Amino acid sequence: MFLSLLNNRNLVIIVEHWSSEQRNPLPRLTWNIRGANIDSSYEVQKDYNTVANVLRIDHVRRENLGRKLICEASNMPNTIQLSTSVTMNVYLKPLSVAITGAEHPFLSGQPSNLDCISYGSRPAANITWYHNGRVIEYETKRIKVSGNNNMTWSTLKLVPTDEDNQSVITCVASNIYFPDDTKEQQIILNVHYPPRLQICLGRNLNVSNIKEGSDVYFECTINASPSITRLDWDHNGSNVGQHESRRTIVSNQTLVLQSITRKGSGSYRCIASNGRGKSISDAYHLDVKYEPSCKADQQRIYGAHKGETAWVKCDVNSNPIPTSFRWAFNNSVSGLINVANTDKSMAIIKFKVSDFGTLLCWATNSLATQSQPCVYHIVPAGRPDPPKNCLPVNVTSTRFTIQCEPGYGGGLPQHFACTVATIDRPDVPEASYVGQTGHVAVKITGLRPSTRYVTTVYASNAKGTSIGHVRVYVETAPNPKDPHVAGDSTSTATRFSEATHIGILLLGCCFVGVCAMAVVYAKRLAANVRGRSVFRERPTVRVQNGEEIRFTGSKGVEERPVVTS
C-alpha cells in the first residue's frame, strides 16, 4: 500500500488490531522502519477487544520518500504473528531553477535557444516562460529524473529582434501541490544589431524657412548594440568633417553648420559603425532659401538695329523662384528710365530698341529684391569677325578637331563653322561642319586616311557669317590597319618633324667632326713648314759597351745614335 504525503507536512497513522474472541494476553502493536522500532506505544480498548497504535511523524521530509512503514502485532515474545506496511510517496516542491544559454550576446534575427532547468520537484515541475511579464506560449518541455532529485528542463526557441534588447526573460518552476512555493529566475536579453539611425533637423528650426546666413544643426538619433565606434556625416555624397574655415562643427551626435550658404542645400546623412556593421540613415533634404542674384554664364550683350525688337532674358539664381521683375534702361542721353513690362512675373522682356545703352533688371522673390541688378548691353548688331589662331588637334586617320580663338561676335552669340576639301581641289567642299554656340572648337569626322585636307573656318551669328575666314591645312594619319603602317597612326606631319630632329642631330655631329679634322691638318701643315714633326720628340737611352747612348727623333723616322761623353 502507498501513502501519498506532502513535503514538510505532519503525518498521523492509526493502526488498530481487533479480535472477535477474547485473547490473553492482548497483542502488542509496534512500528518500525528498516527493522528499527520507531513507536511501541499502544492502547487497549477492552470493550471491543481492540488494540490501537497511533504513529505521528512531524514534518514529513524529503528523505522519507519511498520508505516503508511496517506495523507488527504479536502477543508472544520474539514472535511476529501479524504485520502490515505502507510505503511513503512524498510530494516535493521545487528546490531550484536556473536559465542557461545566455552567456553570450544574442544576434538580432538569428535563431537561439534558452534552457530552464529545475531540480527537486515531485511530481515533475511545471516550467513557464515569461517575456516582459507575458506568458510565452511556445516552448519544449523535457523531464529527466535522477534518483530522488527530479530534474525538469524546458528549451525556449527564440529569434530575437532589435526591440528585444534589454527585455526580461523569466523562467518559473511550480508544483500543483505547492502553489505558493514557486522558483523563478530572470535574465536580461543582450541583443546585438547594427546601428539604427534617424537624422532630423534641430528642434527649434523651421525646415521651410532656412535662409542663407542662418545657423543650422542636425541631430542623429542612434539605436545600436553594442555602442557605435564611429560616426560620420555625409552631404551629397561627400564627407562632412569639422572645419573652422567652413564653420562646420561636429559634436557628439550633432552636426552644426554656421552661416550656411546656398551650397549647403542638398541631402544629408549620418553614418555609424559598431561591432555588427555599418549603417546609413535615410537622406534629409535641406533647402536653403536665398534672394535673387545674377547667373554668371548668361548672354550679356544683345545686338540689334534701331527699331528692332530684342528679347532679353533676366537669368537669375533664386530660391524660391522670383515673383516679379523690374526693368530699366540707361544711356548717356536720357539717363535711367524704367521700362514697362506687360507681365512682371516673366523673366523675358520684349524690348524695342530705340537707342543703344544698358538694360538693367531686378528680380524679387518672397525673401527680398536683389541688391545688385543684372546688366545687359544693347549694342548695334553686325556680323562677327573671323576667328583667330586656328590649329588642328587630335589628328587621327579619320577625324580631327579645329580649335580657334573667337573674334568680336557682332553683339550676338556666335559659333564656328567650316568646310572641308582636299588639297588638290580646295574650291570643291566635300562636307560642312557646324560647332555649338559658345564653343571654340569644331569636330570634323568621316575623313580618309593619309589624305591632305584644307579646312576653311569662319564665324557665324544671327546676322550672318564673318566676312573673312581662316584656312587650316591638315593631313590625316595612315590607316592603322594597313600592314605597311601597322602600329603607326601618326600623321605625316608628326613623322616629318621627328625626321627633321634626327637629321639636324646628324648634321651637327658631322660638322664637329670636320672641324676637328681641319684643326689637326692645320697643325701638321705648320709643323712641316718649320721642318719639325708635329709629334713631340721622345729621347731614349740605351747602354752599349758600357757607354750611354741617347736617341732622339719622331715615330717612323730612322733613329740615329748620338754619343755623349
Q: Is residue 560 part of a domain?
A: no
Percent of the chain with pLDDT over 90: 43
* Burial grade of 412 (CB within 10 A; 0-12, 13-18, 19 or more): buried
Contact 351, 376 (CB under 8 A): no
Task: Quote the CA–CA distance of 350 and 66 in Å, as a whole number.
Answer: 114
Contact 42, 53 (CB under 8 A): yes
For residue 116, give the 3-state DSSP assignment: strand
Measuring CA to CA, which residue among 260, 356, 376 is closest to residue 316?
376
139 pLDDT band, cuts 50/70/90, is: low
What number of other Cβ atoms are within 10 A of residue 367's Cβ? 16
What number of other Cβ atoms are within 10 A of residue 437's Cβ? 13
484's grid cell: 605597311
Q: Is residue 211 part of a domain?
A: yes
Q: Is residue 512 part of a domain?
A: no
Tell me the range of 54-58, 355-359, 488-492, 548-552 where mean pLDDT is highest.
Answer: 355-359
Which range is least confidently modeled, 51-65, 311-325, 457-471? 51-65
Answer yes or no: is pLDDT of 264 > 60: yes
Contact 106, 189 (CB under 8 A): yes
Which of 414, 448, 476 is a domain's end point? 476
Q: Is residue 6 part of a domain?
A: yes
Which of 88, 120, 154 is a domain's end point? 88
User: How much is the average pLDDT of 138-146?
Assistant: 63
487 pLDDT band, cuts 50/70/90, is: very low
Measuring CA to CA, which residue among 258, 246, 262, 273 is closest to residue 218?
258
Task: Quote the CA–CA distance of 465 and 385 in Å, as a whole number.
Answer: 8
Task: Quote the CA–CA distance of 110 and 101 in Å, as a whole number.
Answer: 14
Q: Is residue 25 part of a domain?
A: yes
Q: What is the pTM of this model?
A: 0.59
Task: Quote the CA–CA distance of 251 and 258 in Å, as a whole number.
Answer: 13
Structural domain boundaries enclosing 465: 388-476
The rounded mean pLDDT for the chain is: 80
Do 183 and 100 reside in the same domain of the chain? Answer: yes
Measuring CA to CA, which residue among 367, 437, 373 is closest to residue 409?
437
Do 234 and 216 reside in the same domain of the chain? Answer: yes
Which helix (DSSP H) or strand (DSSP E) does residue 113 occupy? Answer: strand 112-119
Task: Quote the CA–CA distance of 189 and 499 in Å, as a whole number.
Answer: 83
Q: How far is CA 381 from the centre of its chain?
A: 55
Q: Which amino acid appears at position 324 of this protein? A: S
Do 271 and 202 reside in the same domain of the chain? Answer: yes
Do 349 and 427 reside in the same domain of the chain? Answer: no
Do 185 and 206 reside in the same domain of the chain? Answer: no
Q: What is the end-to-end Cα distance of the chain in Å, rounded?
A: 162
Which of 49, 66, 88 is a domain's end point? 88
> What backbone phi and psi angles, to 5 degrees, belong to 492?
-60, -40
Task: Quote the CA–CA distance of 481 and 488 in Å, as a whole number.
Answer: 9
Q: Is residue 534 part of a domain?
A: no
43 pLDDT band, cuts 50/70/90, is: low
Which helix (DSSP H) or strand (DSSP E) does residue 421 occupy? Answer: strand 415-422
Greatest CA separation for the chain: 187
Is 511 or 103 the better-scoring residue by pLDDT?
103
Q: Is residue 528 part of a domain?
A: no
Do 242 and 260 reside in the same domain of the chain? Answer: yes
Do 203 and 172 reside in the same domain of the chain? Answer: no
Number of domains in the chain: 5
Do 301 and 333 reside in the same domain of the chain? Answer: yes
Tell me the per-residue pLDDT of 288-338, one tens digit each, with 9 for 90 and over. 999 999 999 888 888 888 888 888 999 999 999 999 999 999 887 677 888
Do 403 and 461 reside in the same domain of the chain? Answer: yes
Do 100 and 163 reside in the same domain of the chain? Answer: yes
Contact 126, 173 (CB under 8 A): yes
DSSP notation for 526-560: HHHHTT--SSPP--EEEEETTEEEEE---TTSPP-
Q: Note the pLDDT of residue 13.
A: 55
Q: Is residue 516 part of a domain?
A: no
DSSP notation for 157-192: EE---GGGTT-EEEEEEEETTEEEEEEEEEEE--EE
Contact 471, 456 (CB under 8 A): yes
Q: Note the pLDDT of residue 35.
A: 64
Do 104 and 185 reside in the same domain of the chain? Answer: yes
- Which CATH number does the domain housing residue 272 bear? 2.60.40.10
Do 185 and 200 reside in the same domain of the chain? Answer: no
Task: Quote the CA–CA distance of 51 and 17 in Å, as a whole number.
Answer: 5
